[in-house]
Amino acid sequence: MQNKPKNENALYLVGLFAWLIPGAGHWLLGEKNRGAIICVAICTTFLFGIMLGTIDVIDPQQHKAWFCAQVLCGIPTIITTIVAQKLTDITSSGLFGRSRDIGQVYIGVAGLLNLLCILDALYRTHLSTSADRP
């Protein structure tokens, strides 16, 4: 019975870190190469979205559905949202059209890719903790 809280804590810890920092869940599991590849892939996709559509692409008030997908990137989205809200008066460029849409899609896809990586890290944690049980 003592293994159950430890296993649940491991799942929560890996899930939280995998959400906050892309690739950190795999890094905690000892799969450092896989974690680094995930981090580079998701952060690069996120940055391309910002470059294509500017920082205004992440908008929780006007684009709630996109924000739900984008927030799955974790800390990069949270920081960008805070910065964008502070800069809205300064940078209200009114960017519309295809580049804004493509930027939203890129960041949304980065978040959804991170969701898949979170689920993979949780599954690998579950497999490793269930193999430890007698």
Integer Cα distance of 68 and 128 in angstroms: 30
| 49: nearest Cα among 15, 27, 72 | 72
Judge whether 3 and 132 are in contact, CB under 8 Å.
Answer: yes
Please give the angle made by the CA atoms of 43, 108 and 39, to the nearest 5 degrees: 20
Structure tokens at 87: 């800069």
pTM to 2 decimal places: 0.84
Structure tokens at 44: 């690069």
Domain locations in the chain as residue ranges: 3-131
Return per-residue pLDDT of the chain as tens, 134 residues.
334 446 678 889 999 999 999 999 999 999 999 999 999 999 999 999 999 988 888 888 888 999 999 999 999 999 998 988 887 665 555 556 677 889 999 999 999 999 999 999 999 999 888 766 55
Structure tokens at 63: 């684009």
